[in-house]
Each structure stands twice: as C-alpha cells, then as structure tokens.
Amino acid sequence: MTTYREAVRTAIQTLLREDPRVFLMGEDVGRYGGAYAVSKGFLEEFGEERIRDTPLCESTFVGAGIGAAIGGMRPIVEVMTVNFSLLALDQVVNNASLMRHMSGGQFEVPLLVRMATGGGKQIAAQHSHSLENWYAHIPGIKVLAPATVQDAHDMVLAGIEDPDPVFIFEHQMLYGMEGPLDTESTPPSPWKAAVRREGKDVSLIAYGGSLHKALGAADELEKEGIVAEVVDLRSLRPLDHETIVQSVSRTHRAVVIDEAWKTGSLASEISAILAEEAFYELDAPIERVCTLEVPIPYAKHLEDAAIPQVDRIVAAAKRSVGGA
C-alpha cells in the first residue's frame, strides 16, 4: 500500500533515474519539494539542472517545456493548480497542440504537464476549480485523470512516452489516498475507461476525485436494492466511447458525475455521446451531477454544497431508476 502522492513521486523518480532527457520544472518543485510534496528531495538527488524552480509565469515555463520537447528532451512541467494554467493556454492551444499538424508530422512534442485540480480543501475559488473539459476540447493534446494510486503512477510513465503533449489532472483531494501499487506488471492502456464496479440498474460515470464519490453512492444504493455500475473514464481525451456505451447498454440508465460546472461540461459531452450512440438503450433521461454554477466558495459548508457529493449522486440515481 502506498499513497497517491508517493505513486506519482515514484514514477517521476524512475523516469529521472533512467532517462537523462527527463527533467522536472515548475513552481516550487525544487527547494520547497512541490506544492503537494511530490518532488520532495528531488533537488538534492538530481540537482538544479534537472529540477528547476520557475518564476510564477506559467506562459513562460510551459512554453519553455514545449521548446525543450521539440528539441529532444522529455520535460515534465508541474503547474501548481489548474486555475493558474489558464495563463499558459496560448502556449497550449496555439503551439503545443498544433506543432505536429503544422509541421506535417516533422515535429513531435513529448511534453508531460501535471497539475492539481478540483475542490474540497478550502483553498478558495482561484485554487479549486475543475477545468479539465477546457483541455479535453483541444485536438492535438491528450488528457488523463488518474483516480487510483495505480493510475497515478502508470499515467506518468505513459504520458512521457507519448509523442503528443499529455496533460494529467491530479485531484488535490487524492494525494493522501492509499492504495495498492504494482510496479512490475504491464499496465493497461491509459486511453481506455475502466468498470470499477459491475452493476445492472444504473451506470454512474465519473473520473478523478468524483470516482470515489460514485463508488460511495453505489454502496448507499445497494442498501436500497439498486445495483449501480461505476465507470471510471480515466482518459478525457480521447474519450472511450465504447466502454461508456457498453455500460449504459447493460444498465439502460446513466448518471454522469463531473466536478466542472454543468454548462459546457464534460458531462454534457458524455450525455451527447449517449444520445447519439445509445439513445434506444436508454430507459430514463440522462442525469448530470455537476458543480453548481458559482465560484467555489471558501467556507466549508458552502464548498461542500457546491461540488458533487454522495447524496446528490444517490438522489440522481434514484430519480433515474424511479423514472423508468
């Protein structure tokens, strides 16, 4: 058993030790050891050339990572939180995502960008939003959301090997979570969704920090005789249509849990996929459980009320089953 934080740390440490092209840079990754203590001790082990503290200037250091990747390096860029990453969107949308296309395939951009996302830690609106769907909208990059200790490790390794820019969103409430870690077996493809719990009455579709709330909701529903299937999306771009559609074809009902705001959300995209590809399999309207359309509050009781919780997922599932 190890923590989510330690799993990410182990993967990065392995890459740094095995591949001299790999280096880590970002805000407070060196002397401070990372905002979430992932890189603690790395500066002492690997030195300033490979563990680089950057100024608070996301556009600059994400752009530097893109340039280093084009030049043959394997940069891992850590952005402290997803909200701050918006300062680098120009670099992502107009440079990183377009380079292979605009060069006719001559240039690859093997860049790995990691950032914390999500609410629940009372660090207010500028540090707590879930904007993964903004990135999942962009062709030319790939987006991962590890929800388990194993995925937190394996997706770092997979991301650094990909010829396209890979963005990993680590939910900040998961860093202290414990789970098993197997570093010997061949990991499954990171681009496929996973059924974390089999069921027959309703599909709960989630990712990242919301996965564990979906599993908790499934436990509560089982007490009332409702057997929920829980699907972990894992990859947000590309989305695994096949697994999503197969699950709903078994249960004939869907509840999509997404910590983003409902308007323009990933939950909206999944709902559209189901309407396009599994409409006649549905026995009830698709339910969406998303964050309320407000900035994430600082006060704990308001923050809890704003973001998806187990009771809201349970209520949505019961509406779906009762509406058959």
Q: What is the CATH number of the domain that holds 254?
A: 3.40.50.920
Sign for the pseudo-dihedral over CA of 250, 217, 265, 78: negative
Last residue of a domain, which of 156, 179, 202? 179
> Residue 272's domain spans which residues?
194-322
**Structure confidence by residue, pLDDT tens digits, 221-272:** 999 999 999 999 999 999 999 999 999 999 999 999 999 999 999 999 999 9
Q: Which of 27, 58, 229, 303 is catalytic?
A: 58
How many residues are given for the chain?
324
Please say if 127 is a catalytic residue: yes
**Structure confidence by residue, pLDDT tens digits, 157-197:** 999 999 999 999 999 999 999 999 999 999 999 999 999 99
Name the DSSP letter for residue 93: I
* pLDDT higher than 60, residue 323: no
The contacts of residue 47 (CB under 8 Å, 6+ apart) are none
Q: Are residues 171 and 311 in the same domain?
A: no
Name the DSSP letter for residue 92: I
The predicted model gives 292-306 an average pLDDT of: 97
Answer whether residue 302 is part of any domain.
yes
Answer whether residue 188 is part of any domain.
no
Q: Are residues 41 and 142 in the same domain?
A: yes
Q: Which of 6, 27, 78, 127 is catalytic?
A: 127
* pLDDT higher than 70, residue 297: yes
**Mean pLDDT score of the chain:** 97
The predicted model gives 74-84 an average pLDDT of: 97
Q: Are residues 161 and 280 in the same domain?
A: no
- Nearest CA to 114 out of 15, 31, 12, 235 is that of 12
Q: Are residues 39 and 175 in the same domain?
A: yes
Q: Are residues 118 and 204 in the same domain?
A: no
Residue pair 185/159 in contact by the 8 Å Cβ criterion: no
* pLDDT higher than 60, residue 283: yes
Structural domains counted in the chain: 2
Answer whether residue 206 is part of any domain.
yes
pLDDT band at 324 (very low <50, low <70, confident <90, very high): very low
- Nearest CA to 239 out of 136, 163, 153 is that of 136
Q: Are residues 128 and 169 in the same domain?
A: yes
Give the N- to C-terminal CA distance of the chain in Å, as an integer.
42
Q: Are residues 15 and 164 in the same domain?
A: yes
Please say if 184 is a catalytic residue: no
Q: Could you give the CA distance from residue 138 to residue 141 in angstroms, rounded to a whole number?
A: 6
**Structure confidence by residue, pLDDT tens digits, 102-121:** 999 999 999 999 999 999 99
Q: Are residues 56 and 141 in the same domain?
A: yes
Q: Could you give the CA distance from residue 305 to residue 302 in angstroms, rounded to a whole number?
A: 5
